[in-house]
Structure 1
């Protein structure tokens, strides 16, 4: 009987190893495979996004997905006759979703960082962004130093967390417990800021400016841009998707040349924007 159990145990271990190896090989293929031909054949590309990230990609009250990056993505793939399927995801799992092959691209105000470059490839950057501190004017907080001992909020999986960790003396070491309070979305973070459950938010200026402008309460907020370096937004993709990257870059550059990129950017940001792609051609 003991021999039977011994052989059963060996068999189960073997099956588990094979199963894990299979999963790893699938993930590995997804990371290295050049999928453009498959996308072109299906005439569909799947883009992962945080559907609460105004104004880049968000769901309206009627359930429609809209936003700056939505318009850009549709315009890019229209050039190739490819339909865009927007897939809401847990933003903190965006790289995992990409590497598992459940989405083809991350396109939703994605900041280029050295950490992310280790795992994914990026298109050319198409928009600059600052990371700014947003507070209520009534709190009289006007700088990072004024956040000493106070609670700071930011989004899970955001570039702001990376900035806080890379340059802790700028802000992280000043705030309460030297750790920010994390939110699934900046919409939730603003709810807590307005209720004074946190004293400030470290947030993308493009999101913050749009939110405050459309909140009807813009006069209630103060913003401060500290010494964190200006960041760039780009499209994230698997490193193996060399052709997909070339196609996205070619389409974005064409739009920068023919005025379509400027038209879409002005639609969402008015005259308050800075685009590295547009700067290349606006000379």
Structure 2
């Protein structure tokens, strides 16, 4: 009986600790946490480690890219280091709101649907969804995708818009749907191997990937017919101070010329939006 009481007592303590941890986690995700980031001098950013050239893992295993350098410059302003956390891009908002990460920063398109789940920073770069096809396929326009197989990344803004908005592309492709992939890399492999006929993808990714692979001349990059998009940083809705600090740092980095320096390194041009410049 004595041992039984001890075991029950320990179990009770563990249960209480678990409940306390859950309560603490819920509190952390429902309150402004800027003071915590300042005190602990660290913040966790979730990203898709295959999304070139925004944030990705290079051959040496290092995390690099435009967003990686921009985020580093932003938090250097406040003496805060970044813990980069690779995530399943299809679960990004869940990871954020569960408290597993503090920000989504990786070519993250600001859409009305996503604004219902997260608080966005100012937009810092524009983007466009494009259709990539092999020139050898004879598909040179959206109209040529009749009964063809389309691919897209699961959880991407391109796939979301494709599913939610009536477009010519959706009306034309086989089964009026798109084959979903965990990463654009996987989708591009299938495009190269003719397992899909076209890929709906961010223009910034398509341009960088095809140039780096030296195969730009073998592919078409076609306007998919969607509206232009803008990239922003996603935070929990309670983290208003954090978003204000990011917006402030964007403006300061642009005034210093640091934003342009990072932009020119990765794109050969200044990609800053009017929000950043003003």
Q: Which runs of 5+ in 1 are unaligned?
A: 1-17
Paired residue for 1:64?
62
Residues in 2 aligned to 1:36 and 1:198: alpha-carbon distance in whole angstroms: 45
Residues in 2 aligned to 1:52 and 1:251: alpha-carbon distance in whole angstroms: 26
Residues in 1 aligned to 2:78 and 2:277: alpha-carbon distance in whole angstroms: 24
Report the Cα offset of residue 172 of structure 1: 1.4
1:116 to 109, 114, 117: 114
Q: Which runs of 5+ in 2 are unaligned?
A: 1-15
Paired residue for 2:272?
275
- SS at structure 2 position matched to 1:172: helix
- 1:217 maps to 2:221: no
- Return the TM-score normalized by structure 2: 0.89
Q: How does 1:6-17 map to 2 (within 5 A)?
A: none
Paired residue for 2:254?
256
- Return the TM-score normalized by structure 1: 0.88
Given the superposition, is the C-alpha separation of residues 21 and 206 from structure 1 closer, same or farther in structure 2, using an over 3 Å criterion?
Answer: same
Residues in 2 aligned to 1:120 and 1:25: alpha-carbon distance in whole angstroms: 21
1:104 to 81, 86, 102: 102
Residues in 2 aligned to 1:107 and 1:70: alpha-carbon distance in whole angstroms: 8
Work out whether residues 144 and 226 of structure 1, in 8 Å CA contact, stay in contact via their aligned partners in 2.
yes
Work out whether residues 132 and 202 of structure 1, in 8 Å CA contact, stay in contact via their aligned partners in 2.
yes
Paired residue for 2:242?
244
2:152 to 151, 154, 158: 154
What number of residue pairs does the alignment pair up?
263
What do residues 190-212 of structure 1 show as CA deviations (whole Å, max 9, x unaligned)? Answer: 10000010000010000100001
What do residues 87-140 of structure 1 show as CA deviations (whole Å, max 9, x unaligned)? Answer: 001110100000010111000000001110000010000000010000000111
For the aligned residue pairs, the C-alpha RMSD in angstroms reads 2.0
Given the superposition, is the C-alpha separation of residues 27 and 120 from structure 1 closer, same or farther in structure 2, using an over 3 Å criterion?
Answer: farther
Given the superposition, is the C-alpha separation of residues 62 and 118 from structure 1 closer, same or farther in structure 2, using an over 3 Å criterion?
Answer: same
Work out whether residues 160 and 203 of structure 1, in 8 Å CA contact, stay in contact via their aligned partners in 2.
yes
What do residues 42-76 of structure 1 show as CA deviations (whole Å, max 9, x unaligned)? Answer: 10010000000000111111111111000001000
Paired residue for 2:12?
none
Given the superposition, is the C-alpha separation of residues 259 and 278 from structure 1 closer, same or farther in structure 2, using an over 3 Å criterion?
Answer: farther
Paired residue for 1:139?
137
Residues in 1 aligned to 2:19 and 2:147: alpha-carbon distance in whole angstroms: 48
Out of 249-258 and 121-130, give the one that drifted further: 249-258
